[in-house]
Structure 1
Amino acid sequence: MKLVIAEKPSVGREIAKILGADTVRSGYLEGNGYLVTWAFGHLVQLSGPEEYGFTTWSKENLPILPESFSLSVKQVKGKSGYSNDEGAEKQIKLIGQLLDRVERIVVATDAGREGELIFRFIYEYLGCRKPFDRLWISSLTEKAIRDGINELKPGKDFDPLYHSARCRAEADWLVGINATQALTLSSGNKGLLSLGRVQTPTLAMICERYLANTGFKAVPYYLVKIGLEKGIPFGAIAIKGGKVHHFNNLPEAQSLEGRVRGKVVKLKELEKEEQQEQPPLLYDLGSLQQDANKRNGLSAEATLRIAQELYEKKLITYPRTGSRYIGEDVFETVPGLIRNAMGYEPFAQPAAELIKKKLNKRSVNDGKVTDHHALLPTENKPGKLSGDEKIVYDLVVGRMLESFGEACKKMVTTVVFEVKIEPKPEFDFMSRGVQIVYPGWRSVWGVKEEEDGEDNQSIPALSVGEELPVKEVFTEAKKTKPQPLFTEGTLLKAMETAGREVDDDELRAAMKDCGLGTPATRAAVIGKLFSIGYIDRQKKSIVPTPKGLEVYNLVKEKSISKPVLTGEWEKKLEDIRCEIYSAGTFMNEISEYTSVLTKEILEQSGTINVSAMQPGATGIGCPKCKKGVITIREKAAGCSEYKSGCAFTIWRTIASKKLTDTQIQALIQKGKTGTVKGFVSSKTNKPFEAALILGSDYKVSFVFDKK
């Protein structure tokens, strides 16, 4: 008799169906020599500080460095503190009873670092010593499960993966528990202030980008452009030394404009170059999340949840992958997947075209496949999908067709004109156009070339020495721009490379083991920063809250805020998995680091602005009394000096419309909002839209569009 332990009930039932274990019991299935049961994610976790005798938070207890970690049943927080999760406690007891009935175990938790840890913690907590084998599959199709059952791997082969997973869990415990307690105690214990090994450098990146963006001082500059025509109109821009010239002052730009007006230009250089743009690599989880956010506004957590649902519906392969490559064996199945896509309407035409051609093998590399290969659709055809499921499924199918498609061929035309005037100016005028002559992989979505405006123009047929009259000339005022605020998509991209700016797909893939977190954990890290009130959304952008900025200011000089350090740790965790770094050495380094960090945080006691961290605190001064600070609460925003008589108030709900924090802040800081939709007239009961303004009497009123 064998016991199969899956990660969740739905997966357990699929495996039981294949094994013939069709007798339903309470919490498991039985039949054909198998018992099949499941976890509900993590049933067992590292014990909290109280299990080591530290029942209260005290500076004298820190740092807490257990000699060895113990395990406890999953804990949940109730009104009277933490206690065992009843569902987890019941299931772990059942698994223990089932283990007594079998000779061998089949581990069928998700085939990855967290899945391995889920089983090993259960195994260790129950004190089990029975042999186990590993089911390692990348999809839940019937064929994949059958093949996996027939090719079970020895459990000991995954010991390095477990050691890596356990080191990550213990490192997160040591840094998170000690740094959080130290910072909270240093603030006077007036509210929980959370720090973490991955969470804090991620917060630091968000804060640094926000401060650089909001503190950016734009510098004006000027461009001089001319309009030309030969059959079709096109433009050119002033250059110096082969580069577009930014004029620092307006008179200089206007001087050139005046000299060129009404003159003739002569073509002195013409270059045509055919360029090939190779298709993008297949998706891993991170790149899928980035595109789902950029194209459709889905959060990282939502994309992961939907991808997991599609995986459990047997429509895509294992989603928590960090690889953008497949092996030669998987590549052999790709033609069949493309033929399947021919019957899926959004991609029927590009799939039918692709199946006739030689497939591009840029995403095929056995040496770059890690635990799981890149995301692919399975051979199963989708039935009815929800809106968000269709978005994610279409992205996966579309990327498969792109990745195995032909290169996109472009003709890049660059022409340089000199102005026929004396004395000859030091400036020439350049025009550049990009024409897609063969779309290749770009035809899958019908996506046009993403180029700056100047490059989108068509350049007519020209020859060197040809002269054209200047039809128009003008000076365009510009300003330097800061780096944009992070969106979830761009933040995920930055986490991949620990904040380093890397655009090349292949280089990013090579650096993936040096990033912040893993593809499977980054969404949860961002989600936690939202949930603990350190970051917020402004439309699509992510910004720190006053609380988040205050925490950042406290730790910005400390190594816990440095993305590169955390990236180095992630690399060592991967090296442990690959058996080229010692788990013991890693944990010694983490323990020493934790001791130093905890001491540093405790030594800054008294430097924390607790008031800025109160729920709803904005850090915005009161426009009425000029003394207090505005706090936004559930029903209204008000001044902290209300006890001293300041009655400044903005109600959260106006004309049946509940305002967002961002709208309230704009009203206070700028005196007005943009157009807000969703108001309802109390007289007619009809919806309307309007902007809000804050009057000199500090009362809110509507402003309607004159149109």
Structure 2
Amino acid sequence: MITVLAEKPSVARELAALLGATDKKNGYLEGNGYTITWALGHLVSLALPEAYGCSGFHRDALPILPKPFRLAEKNGTASKSNDARSRQLTVIKKLFDKCSSIIVATDAGREGELIFRYIYDYLKCRKPFRRLWISSLTESALQKGFKNLSDGGHFDTLYYAARARSHADWLVGINATQALTLAAGYGIYSLGRVQTPTLALVCQRFLEHCNFSVSKYWTIALTHSKGFREFVSHGENTWEVSADAEQAFESVSRRKVATVTSVTTKKETEPAPLLFDLTGLQKAANARYGLSAAETLEIAQRLYEQKFITYPRTGSKYITEDLWPEIPGLLRGLTAHQDFQQPVKTLKFSELNRHIVNAARVTDHHGLLVTGRLPTALTAQENLVYQLIALRLVEAVAPSCVREVTTILLQVRHYTFTATSSQVLEPGWRAARSDFSDSVTTDLLPEMREGDEIPIKEVQLVEKETRPPQLYTEASLLGAMESAGNILEEADLKEAIQAKGLGTPATRAGIIETLFQRGYMERKGKALQPTDKGLTVYEIVRDKKIASVAMTAAWEHRLSCIEEGSYSAERFEKEIEKYTAVITEELLSVTGIREEIPELTCPKCTAHTLEVNENLLRCTDARCGWMQWRRVCGVQLVAREVENLIVNKSTSLLKGLRSKSGKTFAARLVVNEKAEVVFDFS
């Protein structure tokens, strides 16, 4: 009997149908010499500090450096017989014990490998195993995968890298969180390897935005008329002093013509985009439709499990040579979908663009593709995400967009003015878009030659203001996480993090959601803003190693080398232990971060004070029983809003609240006459 371990029940059912294991059992399927079961994600993880005799937070116990690390059931212990995870782990153990060998069918990547290996090691299993490595759940992909199973040992270095990452995250997360929490003496201050530098990005941008000093400056614009056609030229000079601008304006206004000093016409080629990787898809879905990174990942995962798209947790935008012959068939298949008939018609199948073919740039999985299975009965959001992926495929294999750009320089006294126009000669990949607004032909300029004198119809003094850096949206934050290596000077580290970034495509959505859950960050419309608590943490760690992008870059570089087999996992973990000791000492020395909330009176009994902690407000008199959670519909009540609610009986307008259905709304929290906290939508 061969046991196949999938990551989710839905995938297990697909595998069972292919292998002929149709007999349903409790927690698995059986038949044709196979038992197919599933892991429910991470069933086993690294044990908590209590497993090493470190219960509670104690300075003397830090840093906690397990030797060796222990594994434990995730979210509970085996004594919780009613826990679904524990029951499923028992099923897996039973099947592992009686099978002759194992086929690993967890997701083909670093985390999927870790999920299996932790279960395998925790159950002390020694059965031989082989690996199913696929990028699609279509029948043809599964059949090909099962015909080409790889020996499990071939993926040892992938596992070593995954385990090293897991150990490092535990060491930093546990020790840094406990150290800062102990130093604060109040609440829980969660820190993490990727979470903390990501918070630093958000806070730094927010402070730059808030502290930005807006200043005025002036430019001059000219309106011209030639051959019954008007056009505008813009001055290249700017003035920060209004008197200087006025003087220039008066000087230019005295002239009635501008002299053409240069006419340049050139073709500009805009290459077709590459395929989406997960981060690119999340950025596009957030920018266009306001979907969060977590929502997009969840939707993409559903589309994958329904066989409509290939594996979504990919970090690549390319495909391998062997996949190229399948592309025309996928494109023709899209024509059966009404929304894609016109985009596909813009393609010349004999001249498809091969720039997405690059085996050297394909990591665990190729770029996102649709499959030959056309979607049916999708939800509105699923349809939006599917259309993004399908349209990107059409765009990616189309030719470049070619424009003709004309630039004319005009001279008035000693001031230079510029007029430009753009004409699309070959729409190329942009022809696939129904919205062609960002590439339409601009108003063409009248024909001009060097030395021509062009009449000036109007002179305008234009007042402008400098703009602060824009607050991050989820789309731009994902981009910043992806390209964080740009700020590094070390060439080898910069190259490493450009490939990896802060986190991985599969984990970035979870990192962003963690910042919301910790109460460090909140949504204001599409913009992301740190809370008071988030800013407090940032001010503490901003100059410390744990907030360093360079640190993350160094780690990702090492992890990549471990995966390639060119660096020792043991050496890496020794380096991390030394680093953990340094940051623990740094954070234990922090002082003065207590949250400033004045003493508040219970709104119900009005006789006793409130106990206020990170999670709730509660009357100190147990007989009164009044309490209020600080996290409401996904939004954490910061200190000033807690004070507003109790003292003024109303918070300010809270934006980004989320209903149970996932819809966002805005409202105030108010304390009514019965001392109940309710929403006010007025």
In the superposition, the TM-score normalised over structure 2's length comes to 0.87
What is the distance in 1 between the residues matched to 2:436 and 2:29?
53
The amino acid across from 1:345 in the alignment is: Q
The amino acid across from 1:187 in the alignment is: A
* Matched position secondary structure for 1:470: strand
Residue of structure 1 equivalent to 2:516: 530
Contact 1:284 1:375 (C-alpha < 8 Å) held by counterparts: yes
The answer as to 2:101 corresponding to 1:104 is yes
The answer as to 2:241 corresponding to 1:249 is yes
- Change in Cα spacing, 1:357 to 1:642, as seen in structure 2 (3 Å) is closer
Residue of structure 2 equivalent to 1:173: 170
Contact 1:73 1:84 (C-alpha < 8 Å) held by counterparts: no
The amino acid across from 2:247 in the alignment is: S
- Change in Cα spacing, 1:287 to 1:509, as seen in structure 2 (3 Å) is farther
* Matched position secondary structure for 1:611: coil
Residue of structure 2 equivalent to 1:356: 349
Aligned mate of 2:138, from 127, 138, 141? 141
- Change in Cα spacing, 1:639 to 1:397, as seen in structure 2 (3 Å) is closer
Deviation at 1:512, TM superposition (A): 3.8
- Change in Cα spacing, 1:236 to 1:45, as seen in structure 2 (3 Å) is same
Residue of structure 2 equivalent to 1:624: none
Residue of structure 1 equivalent to 2:476: 490
* Matched position secondary structure for 1:574: helix
Residue of structure 2 equivalent to 1:435: 423
Residue of structure 2 equivalent to 1:33: 33
Aligned mate of 1:608, from 577, 583, 593? 593
Contact 2:497 2:553 (C-alpha < 8 Å) held by counterparts: no
- Change in Cα spacing, 1:458 to 1:11, as seen in structure 2 (3 Å) is same
Deviation at 1:309, TM superposition (A): 0.3
The answer as to 2:183 corresponding to 1:186 is yes
Residue of structure 1 equivalent to 2:671: none
Residue of structure 1 equivalent to 2:622: none
- Change in Cα spacing, 1:40 to 1:546, as seen in structure 2 (3 Å) is same
Contact 1:639 1:649 (C-alpha < 8 Å) held by counterparts: no
Contact 2:497 2:557 (C-alpha < 8 Å) held by counterparts: no
Contact 1:638 1:648 (C-alpha < 8 Å) held by counterparts: no
- Change in Cα spacing, 1:462 to 1:84, as seen in structure 2 (3 Å) is farther
Counterparts in 2 of 1:336-351, with a 5 A limit? 336-351=329-344
- Change in Cα spacing, 1:21 to 1:662, as seen in structure 2 (3 Å) is closer
- Change in Cα spacing, 1:642 to 1:127, as seen in structure 2 (3 Å) is closer
Counterparts in 2 of 1:234-383, with a 5 A limit? 234-239=231-236, 245-261=237-253, 263-383=256-376
Deviation at 1:615, TM superposition (A): 4.8
- Change in Cα spacing, 1:661 to 1:318, as seen in structure 2 (3 Å) is closer
Report Cα offsets for 1:283-339 as digits up to 9, x if no partner.
100011001101111000000000000000000000000011101111110000110
Residue of structure 2 equivalent to 1:667: none
What is the distance in 2 between the residues matched to 1:88 and 1:399?
38
What is the distance in 1 between the residues matched to 2:506 and 2:426?
37
What is the distance in 1 between the residues matched to 2:646 and 2:20?
71
- Change in Cα spacing, 1:337 to 1:573, as seen in structure 2 (3 Å) is same
- Change in Cα spacing, 1:508 to 1:563, as seen in structure 2 (3 Å) is closer
What is the distance in 2 between the residues matched to 1:152 and 1:677?
52
What is the distance in 2 between the residues matched to 1:591 and 1:550?
27
What is the distance in 1 between the residues matched to 2:128 and 2:399?
49
Report Cα offsets for 1:612-655 as digits up to 9, x if no partner.
695599xxxxxxxxxxxxx9886999998999x998515359xx
Counterparts in 2 of 1:216-227, with a 5 A limit? 216-227=212-223
* Matched position secondary structure for 2:345: helix
Contact 1:222 1:475 (C-alpha < 8 Å) held by counterparts: yes
Residue of structure 1 equivalent to 2:459: 473
What is the distance in 1 between the residues matched to 2:88 and 2:80?
16
The amino acid across from 1:238 in the alignment is: G
Contact 1:513 1:574 (C-alpha < 8 Å) held by counterparts: no
Report Cα offsets for 1:571-629 as digits up to 9, x if no partner.
2111211112211111111100000100111122x321333695599xxxxxxxxxxxx
What is the distance in 2 between the residues matched to 1:165 and 1:641?
41
What is the distance in 2 between the residues matched to 1:367 and 1:24?
42
What is the distance in 1 between the residues matched to 2:94 and 2:378?
39
Contact 1:310 1:389 (C-alpha < 8 Å) held by counterparts: yes
- Change in Cα spacing, 1:480 to 1:123, as seen in structure 2 (3 Å) is same
What is the distance in 1 between the residues matched to 2:557 and 2:112?
20
- Change in Cα spacing, 1:648 to 1:428, as seen in structure 2 (3 Å) is same
The two structures, once aligned, show a CA RMSD in angstroms of: 3.0
Between the two proteins, what is the percent identity of the paired residues? 43
Report Cα offsets for 1:407-435 as digits up to 9, x if no partner.
0001111001122xxxxx32121111222
Contact 1:547 1:614 (C-alpha < 8 Å) held by counterparts: no
What is the distance in 2 between the residues matched to 1:641 and 1:219?
32
What is the distance in 2 between the residues matched to 1:549 and 1:84?
42
Aligned mate of 1:660, from 646, 654, 663? 654
- Change in Cα spacing, 1:441 to 1:701, as seen in structure 2 (3 Å) is closer
Report Cα offsets for 1:682-704 as digits up to 9, x if no partner.
xxxxxxxxxxxxxxxxxx998xx
What is the distance in 2 between the residues matched to 1:397 and 1:375?
9
Q: More deviation in 462-471 or 584-593?
A: 462-471
What is the distance in 1 between the residues matched to 2:637 and 2:93?
54
* Matched position secondary structure for 1:100: helix
What is the distance in 1 between the residues matched to 2:187 and 2:451?
75
Aligned mate of 2:114, from 105, 113, 117? 117
Aligned mate of 1:541, from 527, 530, 540? 527
Contact 2:22 2:30 (C-alpha < 8 Å) held by counterparts: yes
Contact 2:271 2:401 (C-alpha < 8 Å) held by counterparts: yes
The amino acid across from 1:182 in the alignment is: A
Report Cα offsets for 1:60-79 as digits up to 9, x if no partner.
000000111110011259xx
What is the distance in 1 between the residues matched to 2:553 and 2:422?
38
Report Cα offsets for 1:475-510 as digits up to 9, x if no partner.
1111111210000000001101226379xxxx9998
What is the distance in 1 between the residues matched to 2:196 and 2:82?
28
What is the distance in 1 between the residues matched to 2:572 and 2:62?
21
What is the distance in 1 between the residues matched to 2:667 and 2:193?
42
In the superposition, the TM-score normalised over structure 1's length comes to 0.84
Deviation at 1:237, TM superposition (A): 1.2
Residue of structure 2 equivalent to 1:594: 580
Q: Which runs of 5+ in 2 are unaligned?
A: 598-611, 617-628, 658-664, 669-679
Contact 1:639 1:646 (C-alpha < 8 Å) held by counterparts: no
What is the distance in 1 between the residues matched to 2:681 and 2:555?
54
Aligned mate of 1:418, from 397, 405, 411? 411
What is the distance in 2 between the residues matched to 1:520 and 1:646?
39
Contact 1:285 1:319 (C-alpha < 8 Å) held by counterparts: yes
Contact 1:164 1:576 (C-alpha < 8 Å) held by counterparts: yes
Q: Which runs of 5+ in 1 are unaligned?
A: 240-244, 420-424, 618-630, 654-658, 664-675, 680-699, 703-707
Residue of structure 2 equivalent to 1:666: none
How many pairs were matched up?
629
What is the distance in 1 between the residues matched to 2:567 and 2:162?
14
